[in-house]
Amino acid sequence: MPSAELAYLGDGVTAVRSSTMGQLMTLPVRCRLALPSATAALIVDRLLIESGGKPPAVIVTSTISCSIWARCAGWTRIVIDRSQSRVRPGLIPWMFRGEDMRAFIRRTFQLAAVLVAAGTWTVAAQQVAAPQVTPQDLREGLRNASRWLTYSGDYTNQRHSPLTQITPQNVQRLTAQWAFQTDTLGKFEATPLVVDGIIYVAGPLDIGWAIDARTGRQLWRYRRDLPAGLIACCGLVNRGFGVLGDRLFKTTLDAHVLALSMKTGAILWDTAMENYRNGYSGTAAPLVVNDKVIVGMAGAEYGVRGFIDAYDAQTGKRSWRFFTTAGPDDPGHSTWRGTDPKAWEKGGGSTWATGAYDPELNLVYWGTGNAGPDYDGSAREGDNLYTASIVALDADTGRLRWHYQFTPHDVWDWDSTQNPVLADLTIGGQPRKVVMFANRNGFFYLLDRATGKLIRGKPFIETSWAKEIQPNGRPMLLPNSIPSEEGTRICPDQSGGTNWMPPSFDKALGLLFVTARESCGIFFTWKDDYNPGDSYRGGAVQRVGDRQISALRAIDVATGERRWDFPYASQSWAGVLSTASGLVFAGSSGNFMAFDARTGKNLWHFQTGSALYAGAITYMVDDRQYVLLPSGTTLTAFALMSASN
């Protein structure tokens, strides 16, 4: 007969011996025995038996569910709910102390041994139900409003939810329902995913969590063992997961791509993109298309060669790579001229924000970063394709279908790594399939997404480097707009008219909502020598203090004109979310706000206490709409206050 023995080893570790497996396993803090053919499981969480230790949290889940946790040293309370299989707040408190507590723990271990002996079992982090996300689910996007499956909700990157429970009329009743504090340093720049009532979110230092979307309770946590000597220009951040089947995918700061189990957070495969010691890193949320995980990279400030990669979702084997700096065998190589014949090898073109996908055209649209070195273009004369551009790639092969370069010969550090937004619009009385792009260089672009042809380019902030976008698609440069040794005042500054902050698009109103920045800087240039892994910028920028303004801006996509504007008290790095009920969610300086989408009127606000570096999402669970916001290193879920409250 199968049997199992459990023994507490101290310091948060429990040992399990199973006669069926013939081995001894040690289980770390917050581990679980999953019992497929039994009716219960045991979770052991920092079980401290010594009387001097702060007591425990032990959960036994079965048809009769018990939860035990510490009230103070030496005391523990138990709550039992006999009607449900999951723990609920409730209701029959019993108090244990000293020997009674130890006797109860012994009985709990005996019960667990019986349950383990009832059948086979596996050891993992606390497991959750195994959802299945199909390629069709990803194509349908937000049709299932209980889910949020991609960085911007669906392949169009519109970040516009069909949910209507929260409206301009009742948004004043929006209140915080729970907050999940990650107990980490850094900041969220990620968009959470929501699948069947579970939130999956990536945070700083390559940590990831699965969280109950109803309660904010942690289900599992993943933390990568990062090497020393990481090189990252702009924060040890991550912008989120991709999902397919029962797997999550993410990039890492040491330039790897991972597949994780949605059940447990365990690594299923781990593939290196490039050598992080040479300046490569990964921060972008993957875009999953069919059976491929498409990812970007970061590192243009360190003299890397940019690329977009696709990996097989099952095996982690690389399927294709597209280089964003044109080499000798690539079209566009003649755009790399100057004193360095191999400037393209260290020419930048990072791809650190998530692209979009058109299933009908089978095209992936991805923005590319600045050319390198950032501010010194003397060694790389020419347009420097395909930096500071949008590229349209065949999703199956990675071959270039078309490109459009927003900032030829970029010497201002204006990455075009914003999120491209896809839509079907009527332009000039004709239906057009378009891609919209509010660019860091300060111009809003409307392109035909089948051909890349420019439809319109118009500034959405004050710009001093270019007067307009000409019919041939190239900017008309203004005098005194190039960095110099003495310094040149240019608008916008190097952080641009917008940045990674994702916009949203309300098709019914024809409005694109953008976090806009009005800012200028003094641009300096000098010569930098290239050494692998060292900074390779060729200059610097000094911000001009009298011109630092930020606003939530509504752009009429049919005309490119500004419809309305809400100025913030300080610079904002927050993304935007809109809903079919006529709301826009955004914010600044920790102040999370809701606006009327038609007028820009501020209807509601909540001070989170931490700066906003990400955008909110919304989802439906148990017929209740939630709005979820990452702020600092905390997730806060909001919903309407019930009538009884």
User: Which candidate, 185, 165, 181, places its Cα nearest to that of 173?
Assistant: 165
Question: Following DSSP, what letter does each residue of 617-629 receive, concatenated?
Answer: EEEEETTEEEEEE
| pLDDT value at residue 118 | 33
Task: Determine whether 413 is an active site residue.
Answer: yes
pLDDT in tens, 457-514: 999 999 999 999 999 999 999 999 999 999 999 999 999 999 999 999 999 999 999 9
- 95 contacts: CB under 8 Å, gap ≥ 6: 75, 76, 77
What is the distance, to the nearest Å, from the Cα of residue 601 to the centroid of all Cα atoms in its chain?
28
Average pLDDT for residues 171-193, to the nearest whole number?
A: 96
End-to-end CA distance of the chain: 55
Q: What is the rounded CA–CA span in Å between residue 272 and residue 15?
A: 34
pTM across the whole model: 0.82
The 3-class secondary structure across 474-543, one letter per residue, is CEEECCCCCCECCCEEECCCCCCCCCCCCCEEECCCCEEEEEEEEEEEEEEECCCCCCCCCCCCCEEEEE
Residue 3 one-letter amino acid:
S
Question: Following DSSP, what letter does each residue of 334-346 receive, concatenated?
Answer: GG-BSS-TTGGGG
Q: Where are the domains of the chain?
A: 4-125, 135-640
Q: Which residue bears the tokens 């953008």?
A: 514
Contact 615, 159 (CB under 8 A): yes
Residue 517 in tokens: 């920045």
Residue 609 one-letter amino acid:
G
- CA torsion 193-199-204-208 (nearest 10°) is -110
Burial (CB < 10 A; 0-12, 13-18, 19+), residue 569, is exposed
Comparing 51 with 58, which gets the higher pLDDT?
Answer: 58
Report which DSSP code applies to 206. G
Alpha helix ranges (H) inside 118-164: 135-140
Containing 102, the helix (H) or strand (E) segment is: helix 99-117
Q: Which residue bears the tokens 């939130």?
A: 199
- Phi, psi dihedral angles at 248 (to 5 degrees): -110, 150
Q: What is the rounded CA–CA span in Å between residue 220 and residue 224?
A: 14
Average pLDDT for residues 132-141, to the nearest whole number?
A: 97
| pLDDT value at residue 156 | 98
Comparing 254 with 46, which gets the higher pLDDT?
Answer: 254
pLDDT in tens, 212-258: 999 999 999 999 999 998 988 889 999 999 999 999 999 999 999 99
Q: What is the rounded CA–CA span in Å between residue 222 and residue 209?
A: 6
Beta strands 287-289 and 634-640 are unpaired
Residue 638 in tokens: 């909001």
Angle at 73 between CA 71 and CA 78, to 5 degrees: 35
- Secondary structure percentages of the chain, helix, strand, coil, to 5: 5, 45, 50
- CA torsion 213-359-295-236 (nearest 10°) is -40
Q: What is the rounded CA–CA span in Å between residue 298 and residue 489?
A: 27
Q: Which of 413, 493, 506, 528 is catalytic?
A: 413
Residue 471 in tokens: 């019919």
Q: What is the rounded CA–CA span in Å between residue 76 and residue 72?
A: 7
| pLDDT value at residue 34 | 35
User: Which candidate, 385, 295, 309, places its Cα nearest to that of 348?
Assistant: 385
Average pLDDT for residues 539-560, to the nearest whole number?
A: 92
Whole-number mean pLDDT of the chain? 84
For a pLDDT cut of 70, what percent of the chain falls above it?
A: 79
What is the distance, to the nearest Å, from the Cα of residue 236 to the centroid of all Cα atoms in its chain?
13
**Lowest model confidence (mean pLDDT) among 40-44, 214-218, 222-226, 322-326:** 40-44
What is the architecture of the domain spanning 135-640? 8 Propeller (2.140)
Contact 49, 68 (CB under 8 A): no
| pLDDT value at residue 289 | 98
Q: What is the rounded CA–CA span in Å between residue 384 and residue 400?
A: 16
User: Which candidate, 394, 424, 444, 359, places its Cα nearest to that of 150?
Assistant: 359
Report which DSSP code applies to 642. P
Query: Does residue 91 have a pLDDT over 80?
Result: no
Q: What is the rounded CA–CA span in Å between residue 576 and residue 159?
A: 8
Query: Does residue 120 have a pLDDT over 50?
Result: no
User: Which candidate, 589, 581, 582, places its Cα nearest to that of 609?
Assistant: 589
Residue 103 in tokens: 């006797």
Average pLDDT for residues 270-280, to the nearest whole number?
A: 97
**Lowest model confidence (mean pLDDT) among 86-95, 223-232, 317-326, 356-365:** 86-95
